[in-house]
Amino acid sequence: MSKLVSIIVPCYNHAHFLDEALQSVLNQTYSNWECIVINDGSTDNTKTIAEKWVEKDKRFSYLEKSNGGLSSARNTGIKSSKGDYILPLDADDIIHESYLSTTVPELINNESLAIVSCYSKFFFKDKSNIIHELKPIGTTYHALLFENCLIATSLYRKQCWEDVGGYDETMKRGFEDWEFWLAITKQGWTFKIVEEFLFFYRKQKQSMLIDTLENHRISNMKYIFKKHEDVYIKHHDKTVDYLLYLLKINEDNASNLKQSTSYKIAKFFEKPLNLFKK
């Protein structure tokens, strides 16, 4: 049995990576796919690169829209998709040639599964330069309560996207995939992690993920906790324990900072400066 997979590739000013991402799609040993590239208001040559691939293989298609963020771009692509299954793929990342041939049968053979994910390798500049490996665990929403263990490039049923109303387009500062997975799995759906390295995540010095973790982590978590408060109230004790754990980490970090040599030197020079200001 074969199912059509719609691979959704939002692209915002990542034309210089797009060829590599789309080549990884073309390399798939599973052939029943369509790939929709969504130009989310890019100011680079995304259109030129994407149209080259549309001419190369009829399974590629191209859409343009004004910039609206990652969730908006994904939703736009999925609305025009024809597949039973959806695979989001960011324009700077890469999938293994066996990604679909390995994950699609999992969904076909298990109707209780909503999502199939995999092990991941993080690379810098070149795919051979691996700097980190991710081996998540879990099968239910419980594993998603306090951190996202599912990569954004996970295969899932289009039905699930329809049931939860798509990606939350108000979440423009990251964690939109975490919220999306939680919305699906809290309804009783399960997920599976294939224990193979089928996804390659490009690590950059500056990226949306880095900006999210450094500047928007708390506000995003607050939003998710409030939006899905039914789940967090149900697991009240665990939620409290987790928040206290975060507070303890912050206190320890602050204490370690005050004991550091650089902090003591800064405080030493701060005293005469304050006297001068007075």
pLDDT tens digits for range 11-65: 999 999 999 999 999 999 999 999 999 999 999 999 999 999 999 999 999 999 9
Spell out the residues 6+ positions from residue 245 whose beta carbon is closer than 8 angstroms to its own.
none
Ranges of each domain in the chain: 5-234, 236-277
> Is pLDDT above 60 for 150?
yes
* pLDDT value of position 67: 96
Please tell me the predicted confidence (pLDDT) of residue 263.
42
Check: CATH 3.90.550.10 for 5-234? yes
Query: 186-227, pLDDT tens digit by residue?
Result: 999 999 999 999 999 999 765 555 666 677 788 999 999 999
The secondary structure element, H or E, covering residue 190 is strand 190-202
CA separation for the pair 124, 142 (Å, rounded): 32
74-102 mean pLDDT: 98
pLDDT at 156: 98
| pTM, two decimal places | 0.86
Arithmetic mean of pLDDT, 92-110: 98
